[in-house]
C-alpha cells in the first residue's frame, strides 16, 4: 500500500512536471517550483510515518531515478537506518562509498598474535577485511551493528535486549552449523546485583558474543588473554574460560556474602537490638539473600551451558577436562549457597524473634499498668455510685483518705510484680 502511494506521487510529480515544461508560461520556473514543493511535502510526510524497513523496501522496488528522488526526501537523521535495510549495490548507487553510521555500541574483534589476544576495534565494514578473529564481542550493539557483523559473516545475531526466553530449547541449540547459547552472567556492582543475559553464537572458528552491559568477567578474560601467552588457543577455549571466570566471580561474591553475614550476626546476637536496628538488619539480610539466590540461579544456568557443550561432543580432550573441572567448581559453589540459605534463614528468624521480644516488652508495660489501675478504678466507682451514703464524705479527711487508699491499691500490685521479676 505504501509503495503504491509513493509510486502514485512520483507519477503525478513527473506528469505535472512534463505538462508544465511543454507550456509557454511566463512564470514556468515558479510554477514548477511550487508543484515540486507540494508533491515533495506529501512524500516527506508519508516517509516520516514509515519505518526504516518499509522505506528500504520501497527504495529497493523503485527505479534508480525514482529511488534517488525519494532518497532526497528522507530526513538526515534516518538515512543511516535506511541504508542498512537496502542492498550494497543500491547503497553505492545512492550514496557512493559512504559507510552508514553503526550507532553508539562497541564492536571489538580479538585475534591471536604470538599466543596472546589482540584487540581490534571495529568501526566500519573495512575493518573486518584485515582481521582473522577468534572472538567478536558486541557491547550494547545497535541493529545496524548487528547487521554489519551478521552480513559479513553470514549469520543472524540476536538483539541483547530481547534475551528473556527461559526455555531450554531456545537457550541452547544448533542451527545450520551454528551453536547458539544464551546464558546469564552475574553483575554485582555497588551493592546492587542483577543478571545480564549474554548471547553466544559459534560459527566456524569464531565466537560471537552479544550483550547489553559491560561485565567484570569479560574484562578479566580480556586482561588474562592479553598478558598470558597460550591462555586461549581457539574460540571454544574462549567460551569455556568465560564460564570458568563466571564461576570464580560468583565464588568471590559468595565470600562477600559470608563477610556481610558475619557483620549482621554480630548485630543480631548482641544483647540489645532495637526496632530500628532490626529494620536495617532485615534489609541487609534480604539483600544478601537476593544475591545468593541470583548466584545459585546463574550457576545452574552455567552448568546447563557447559553440559550442553559436553553432550554435543564439541570439545577436545583438554577442553573436556576443563569443562568437567568447571562443573565440579559449580557443585562446590552450590553447597555453599545452600549453607548460606540456612544461615540467612537463622538470622532472619532471630531478628524477627527480637522484634517480637521488643513488642512483648511494650505490651507487658501496658498489662501491668492496666492491672495496677483496677483497684483505684474500683474505689472511685464505689464512691461515685454511693455519693450520699458514704459517711467519709462528711469527714474533713475523707477525700485525702480515698486518694491515699487509691495510691496504696496501685503500689501493692506494683510491689508484687516487682518481687516476681515481671518488671525487669
Instruction: Flag residues of the chain having pLDDT under 70.
Output: 1-4, 6-40, 77, 79-81, 84-85, 88, 97-105, 163-170, 190-191, 271, 368, 382-398, 417, 420-424
CA–CA gap between residue 79 and residue 393 (Å, rounded): 103
Determine the pLDDT at residue 393. 58
Distance of CA 211 to the CA centre of its chain: 11
Distance of CA 173 to the CA centre of its chain: 24
- Measured over the CA atoms of residue 82, residue 84, residue 89 and residue 94, the dihedral's sign is positive
CA–CA gap between residue 362 and residue 73 (Å, rounded): 77
Position of cell 561432543?
A: 313
CB within 8 Å of 108: residues ≥ 6 apart: 119, 120, 121, 122, 136, 137, 139
Determine the pLDDT at residue 410. 74
Determine the pLDDT at residue 76. 72
CA–CA gap between residue 262 and residue 254 (Å, rounded): 12
Distance of CA 98 to the CA centre of its chain: 36
**Torsion angles phi and psi, residue 185, rounded to 5:** -115, 145
Q: Where are the domains of the chain?
A: 2-95, 106-357, 373-420
Determine the pLDDT at residue 1. 55
CB within 8 Å of 132: residues ≥ 6 apart: 111
Determine the pLDDT at residue 103. 52
Burial 76-100 (b: 16+ CB within 10 A, else e): eeebbbbbbbbeeebbeebeeeeeb
Determine the pLDDT at residue 19. 58
Determine the pLDDT at residue 346. 84
CATH architecture, domain defined by 106-357:
2-Layer Sandwich (3.30)
- Measured over the CA atoms of residue 372, residue 375, residue 379 and residue 384, the dihedral's sign is positive
Determine the pLDDT at residue 108. 86
The CA–CA distances, whole Å, from 419 to 118, 306, 413, 415 equal 81, 69, 10, 6
Position of cell 568471590?
A: 252
Determine the pLDDT at residue 365. 72
Determine the pLDDT at residue 208. 93
Position of cell 563477610?
A: 259
User: Residues 161, 141: contact at Cβ < 8 Å?
Assistant: no
**Complete DSSP assignment for 185-250:** EEEEETTEEEEEEEEEEEETTEEEEEESS--HHHHHHHHHHHHSTTS--SHHHHHHHHHHHHHHHH
Residue 52 C-beta-side C-alpha neighbours within 13 Å = 14
User: Residues 249, 216: contact at Cβ < 8 Å?
Assistant: yes
Determine the pLDDT at residue 292. 87
Amino acid at each position: 500500500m505504501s509503495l503504491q502511494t509513493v509510486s502514485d506521487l512520483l507519477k503525478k510529480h513527473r506528469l505535472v512536471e512534463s505538462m508544465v515544461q511543454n507550456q509557454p508560461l511566463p512564470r514556468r520556473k515558479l510554477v514548477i517550483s511550487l508543484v515540486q514543493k507540494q508533491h515533495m511535502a506529501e512524500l516527506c510526510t508519508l516517509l516520516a510515518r514509515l519505518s526504516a524497513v518499509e522505506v528500504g523496501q520501497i527504495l529497493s522496488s523503485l527505479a534508480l531515478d525514482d529511488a534517488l528522488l525519494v532518497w532526497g526526501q528522507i530526513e538526515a537523521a534516518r538515512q543511516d537506518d535506511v541504508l542498512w535495510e537496502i542492498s550494497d549495490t543500491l547503497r553505492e548507487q545512492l550514496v557512493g562509498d559512504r559507510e552508514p553510521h553503526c550507532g553508539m555500541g562497541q564492536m571489538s574483534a580479538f585475534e591471536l598474535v604470538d599466543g596472546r589476544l589482540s584487540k581490534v576495534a571495529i568501526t566500519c565494514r573495512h575493518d573486518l577485511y584485515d582481521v582473522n578473529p577468534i572472538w567478536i564481542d558486541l557491547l550494547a550493539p545497535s541493529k545496524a551493528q548487528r547487521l554489519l557483523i551478521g552480513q559479513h559473516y553470514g549469520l543472524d545475531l540476536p538483539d541483547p535486549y530481547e534475551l528473556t526466553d527461559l526455555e531450554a530449547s531456545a537457550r541452547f541449540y544448533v542451527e545450520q552449523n551454528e551453536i547458539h547459547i544464551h546464558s546469564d552472567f552475574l553483575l554485582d556492582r555497588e551493592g546492587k546485583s542483577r543478571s545480564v543475559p549474554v548471547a553466544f553464537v559459534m560459527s566456524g572458528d569464531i565466537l560471537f558474543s552479544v550483550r547489553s552491559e559491560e561485565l567484570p568477567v569479560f574484562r578479566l578474560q580480556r586482561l588474562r588473554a592479553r598478558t598470558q601467552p597460550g591462555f586461549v588457543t581457539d574460540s571454544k577455549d574462549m567460551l569455556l574460560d568465560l564460564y570458568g571466570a563466571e564461576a570464580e566471580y560468583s565464588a568471590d561474591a559468595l565470600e562477600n556474602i559470608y563477610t556481610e553475614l558475619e557483620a549482621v550476626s554480630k548485630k543480631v546476637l548482641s544483647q540489645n537490638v532495637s526496632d530500628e536496628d532490626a529494620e536495617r538488619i532485615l534489609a541487609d539480610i534480604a539483600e544478601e539473600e537476593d544475591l545468593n539466590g541470583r548466584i545459585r540461579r546463574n550457576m545452574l544456568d552455567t552448568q546447563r551451558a557447559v553440559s550442553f557443550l559436553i553432550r554435543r561432543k564439541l570439545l577436545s580432550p583438554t577442553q573436556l577436562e576443563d569443562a568437567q573441572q568447571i562443573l565440579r567448581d559449580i557443585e562446590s559453589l552450590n553447597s555453599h549457597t545452600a549453607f548460606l540459605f540456612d544461615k540467612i534463614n537463622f538470622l532472619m528468624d532471630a531478628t524477627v524473634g527480637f522484634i517480637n521480644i521488643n513488642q512483648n516488652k511494650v505490651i507487658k508495660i501496658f498489662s501491668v499498668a492496666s492491672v495496677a489501675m483496677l483497684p483505684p478504678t474500683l474505689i472511685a466507682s464505689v464512691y461515685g455510685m454511693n455519693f450520699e451514703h458514704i459517711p467519709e464524705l462528711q469527714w474533713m479527711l475523707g477525700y485525702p483518705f480515698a486518694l491515699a487508699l487509691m495510691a496504696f491499691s496501685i503500689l501493692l500490685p506494683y510491689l508484687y510484680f516487682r518481687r516476681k521479676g515481671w518488671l525487669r
